[in-house]
Structure 1
């Protein structure tokens, strides 16, 4: 690979923002031979794979699948059976970022310039993209540069005919089935829609607790407790009350979200979710 060669890459998470950016870049910059990629942890929602298939059809080119050289079970052992958590996000580091770095490293080593296009919106001033540690790797934030916000993202996907990923009907973020940033109601939804994935998450948690892990997937509550029917009922009641309060605030604040226009992510959602998974 010659030193003058350039690569443009764009990571897809299975979420709406990165999907919209892929569509937008393909429409606005057809002159760029963008390589779309998805880092597959092997623990993704089935809906994520379905949505990636729709995007491939729209983009007219394959989405490269990057697979970690070591799976979740390997890294769980390396981290002494401690579950990943908001404070210790080893899953993001080892299963998402590391495979990406390994994928582009040969190009950087050969002197090529690599531009990574990241889907941080204009209304996400607090977010930062992957910090480049290599002089030949440039991070671009096209949505922030163009002033595109969340409403703009939705408009791009609707106009393109792909719409939002199906899981947005019950979950606020993409990524692994057992993402620790899920709200409790989302764990309840996972139990209802993908019980086998919930049971797998519960088995990982049980193993971690037996090895002394201080973390559970859902803060302060083991999944076995959360899954009890009476507890699920209470979680859904509490969530319904939060939704009602959010709708009331939206009605009273015309400068804020319009009534009914918000998502699960707007209601008591954990902050600072993993950018590489959520986008």
Structure 2
């Protein structure tokens, strides 16, 4: 039995540093995988291409929720009326419940809602499960063993600080977290050491560069997204309309908070305010968009 070292990359700083570490160690039987969730910024897709050119081949996978959406159509058409759902909502749902080919949007239509900090089904459905089904299972089928490299760092959260560097899973593969004890500066030093540029979005105010925006985006990050990439906000607004129609409640928003309002445009307005969310931050609004606004000190 041979160990196949599988590295999942997102185009972000941690997974890139982890890949560089694996190459530095001459790690054998390396398989690098990118799961395209359909919610990344165009610059991240370009960065994935850059990494492939500089570092080596990347296997691209794409989650597919076509069957789940088709099953939901059947449920909507045969069961929602008996549950007291209005005919208007039923017809709206049937109108939009067709696979689009965009994994993130299709997932949300199937669920009838967007993921949230309390229900982070996005990670499992868009990353973990497709990786297992499309990558790990075929490796198991050849009689080999999977070592799953994860770019998790202990100082990112309390839950991650409790994770072990290595653990075995009930499914029969090994999880390995080689940069668990690194800090963010170690991560960028690894890029510099190997002459690899970090994702350019980190110089444009982004704290994370996977989903654009992520459900965990902080206030300042959302503000930067809105002023630099308004087209990303408009895309999410269109998705809110579509997912609302696919929802039994007839409503679905990317962010939901009584303090920040409801819907992506409301939350963007909140991102323009001072602490407390009541008054606009006039200094912030008067500022020209800087060439670089890195959270990590990457500006030259």
TM-score by length of 2: 0.68
Structure 1 position 33, deviation (Å):
2.6
Report the equivalent of 1:256: none
Structure 1 position 126, deviation (Å):
3.4
Quote the Cα distance in structure 2 between the aligned partners of 1:101 and 1:262. Answer: 33
What does 1:2-151 correspond to in 2, within 5 Å?
Answer: 4-28=1-25, 30-59=26-55, 61-70=56-65, 71-79=103-111, 81-102=112-133, 103-121=135-153, 123-124=155-156, 126-127=159-160, 128=163, 132-135=169-172, 137-144=173-180, 147-151=181-185
Structure 1 position 217, deviation (Å):
2.5
In our comparison, the structure showing a higher alpha carbon Rg is 2
Report the equivalent of 2:198: 164
Q: 2:187 aligns with which of 135, 153, 159?
A: 153
1:188-247 deviation line (CA, Å, top 9, x unaligned): 32222222221111122244456437763234122222445xx5542583997xxxxxxx
- Number of residue pairs aligned between Structure 1 and Structure 2: 234
Report the equivalent of 1:216: 253
Quote the Cα distance in structure 1 between the aligned partners of 2:191 and 2:216. Answer: 25
Quote the Cα distance in structure 1 between the aligned partners of 2:236 and 2:189. Answer: 35
Quote the Cα distance in structure 2 between the aligned partners of 1:49 and 1:175. Answer: 10
**Conservation of the 8 A alpha-carbon contact between 1:9 and 1:117:** yes
- Structure 2 SS opposite 1:65: strand
Report the equivalent of 2:100: none
**Conservation of the 8 A alpha-carbon contact between 1:178 and 1:217:** no
Report the equivalent of 1:274: none
**Conservation of the 8 A alpha-carbon contact between 1:182 and 1:218:** no
**Conservation of the 8 A alpha-carbon contact between 2:244 and 2:251:** yes
- Structure 1 SS opposite 2:146: strand
1:110-155 deviation line (CA, Å, top 9, x unaligned): 43111111112354573148973322x11111123xx433221111
Report the equivalent of 1:225: 266
Quote the Cα distance in structure 2 between the aligned partners of 1:5 and 1:188. Answer: 47
Report the equivalent of 1:276: none
Structure 1 position 177, deviation (Å):
1.6
Structure 1 position 5, deviation (Å):
3.2
In the alignment, structure 2 segments of 5+ residues that lack a partner are 66-102, 275-279, 285-292
**Conservation of the 8 A alpha-carbon contact between 1:179 and 1:217:** no
Q: CA RMSD in A?
A: 3.0
TM-score by length of 1: 0.73
**Conservation of the 8 A alpha-carbon contact between 1:85 and 1:215:** no
- Which segments of structure 1 move beyond 6 Å, counting only runs of 4 or more? none
In the alignment, structure 1 segments of 5+ residues that lack a partner are 241-259, 265-279
